[in-house]
Amino acid sequence: MIVVKIGGSQGVNLDAVCADAAGLIQQGQKIILVHGGSAETNAISEQLGHPPRFVTTATGFTSRYTDRETLEIFAMVTSGKINTLLVERMQRFGVNARGLSGVDGRLMVAQRKDAIRIIENGRKLLLRDDYTGKIETVNSALLDMLMNAGFTPVVAPLALSTQGDALNVDADRAAAMVAGAVNAEELIILTNVPGLMRNFPDESTLISHLPKNGLEQALSFAEGRMKKKVLGASEALDLGVPKVIFSDGRTEHPLLDALGGKGTVIS
């Protein structure tokens, strides 16, 4: 079992990913796809007159501020557009894909962050009414049921709060939670860079292998978006996933490359 996280609209070669996935599935491999959608959500939010707002949390991460309107746009773009088109693409490759978000059948239940501490212009602030959350449980029985019936799950990064609200969740960390829940052998995180670099964006500093105990240090040099991927990798390993691979989604064979050891292998 392999869980593959596909980045938003960041130049990832979707046809190549789907072709690789279809080939592996035909050979008997089980695959779950998890996708993001930040870039496209930003573009459509702008078009709809509700531009995205990003905040820096007190712990140093960049987060989307998700008011209710943003949540609905996020659901529309990730679950409606990106998920549907990815399922359609997999179907064209002969794979009976099946889209769902964490809201569906309570696939992913999260604790809603009632308030997030942010830093703005050097001042600490508390933001309320944020529809984001941290996933606590993944309904692996639902994924097993779908896979046993021959479907390939394609997961959109929404969760349901314990109070019944749809929430925006980080897709890298969602992929990590899913990988842990289904006891995946590998979690492949595809991006538009070759992997984790010690000095981003200098590709000659690509780290080809990172032991688990190197992850904490990696958090210090990982740039912006890569920080959450490092965090996701750490969570997946903690949940018993033996191997996490950060790999380049722009190549002709993104999944075969990753499985062949290209990119950054963390184990």
- Residue 13 backbone phi and psi in degrees, to 5: -85, 85
Among 21, 103, 127, 189, binds its own copies (CB under 8 A): 103
In the shown chain, the binding pattern of residues 33 to 72 toward its own copies, with x for contact by CB under 8 A and - for none, equals -----------x--xxx----------------------x
Give the other-Cβ count within 10 Å of 239's Cβ: 17
Q: Does 125 bind its own copies (CB under 8 A)?
A: no
String of b and e for 132-155 (b: at least 16 CB within 10 Å)?
bbebebbbeebbeebbeeebbbbb
Structural contact between residues 143 and 94, judged by C-beta atoms closer than 8 angstroms: no
Distance CA 227, CA 244 (A): 14
CB 8 within 8 A of CB 189: no
Query: Does residue number 243 form part of the binding site for its own copies (CB under 8 A)?
Result: no
Q: How far is the CB of 45 from its own copies (least distance, A)?
A: 11
Counting every residue written for the chain, the total comes to: 267
Tell me whether residue 13 or residue 101 sits nearer to its own copies (CB atom): 101
Q: From the CB of 105, what's the least distance to its own copies, in Å? A: 4
User: Judged by CB under 8 A, which of 5, 98, 113, 250 binds its own copies?
Assistant: 98
As given in the structure block, the two tokens for residue 122 are 């050097």
| Interface with its own copies, residue 226, by CB under 8 A | no
- Whichever of 163 and 204 has its CB closer to its own copies, that residue is 163
Q: Pick from 4, 6, 75, 255: which binds its own copies (CB under 8 A)?
A: 75
**52 CB-contact burial (10 Å; exposed 0-12 / middle 13-18 / buried 19+):** middle
Residues 136, 140, 143, 147, CA torsion sign? positive
Check binding of 11 to its own copies (CB under 8 A): no
Q: Which of 62, 84, 183, 205 binds its own copies (CB under 8 A)?
A: 84
Cβ at position 156, least distance to its own copies in Å:
8
**Cα–Cα dist 171/155, whole Å:** 9
Q: Which is nearer to its own copies, 130 or 186 (CB)?
A: 130
Q: Indicate whether 79 belongs to the interface with its own copies (CB under 8 A).
A: yes
Cα–Cα distances (Å) from 49 to 45, 121, 225, in that order, read 6, 25, 25
Q: Is 143 a binder of its own copies (CB under 8 A)?
A: no
Q: Residue 95 has what DSSP assignment?
A: -
Number of residues near its own copies (by CB under 8 A):
39
Contacts with its own copies, residue ranges (CB under 8 A): 44, 47-49, 72, 75-81, 83-85, 87-88, 91-92, 96-101, 103-106, 142, 145-146, 149, 151, 158, 160, 164-166
